């Protein structure tokens, strides 16, 4: 885990333990909120740097258009046009703004 997740986890456990002495139900609520926040951090980490490649056929049907709408460059792209048995390899595709 990174430092931010570890710090939130440590602070949340400390607050939960302090609330345990005050009221059991408050400690349970704090624990549920802590688990939800940690899960949010882990989901954000999983989806942080993903390319999203979109392939479209040009209007005259003589070319294809590749766009990367994600937030990370796409590398080693392999494109196969099945009916015509044509294959393309693209080394990398930068992020389109």
Separation between Cα atoms, residue 9 and residue 76, nearest integer Å: 37
- Count of the separate structural domains present in the chain: 2
Q: Is the pLDDT of residue 57 over 70?
A: yes
Average pLDDT over residues 23-29: 94
Percentage of residues in the chain with pLDDT exceeding 70? 98
Separation between Cα atoms, residue 80 and residue 54, nearest integer Å: 14
Q: Which residue has the higher pLDDT, 42 or 28?
A: 28
Q: How confident is the model at residue 52 (pLDDT cuts 50, 70, 90)?
A: confident
| Residue 84 and residue 60 in one domain | yes
pLDDT for res 19: 94
| Residue 80 and residue 60 in one domain | yes
Q: Is the pLDDT of residue 49 over 70?
A: yes
Distance of alpha carbon 67 from the chain centroid: 18
| Residue 7 and residue 33 in one domain | yes
Domain span at residue 61?
53-93
């Amino acid at each position: 885990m990174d430092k931010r997740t570890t710090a939130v986890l440590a602070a949340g456990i400390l607050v939960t333990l302090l609330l345990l002495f005050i009221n059991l139900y408050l400690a349970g609520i704090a624990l549920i909120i802590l688990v939800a926040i940690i899960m949010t951090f882990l989901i954000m980490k999983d989806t942080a740097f993903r390319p999203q490649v979109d392939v479209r056929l040009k209007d005259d049907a003589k070319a294809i258009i590749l766009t990367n709408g994600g937030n990370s460059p796409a590398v080693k792209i392999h494109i196969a046009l099945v009916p015509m048995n044509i294959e393309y390899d693209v080394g990398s595709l930068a992020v389109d703004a």
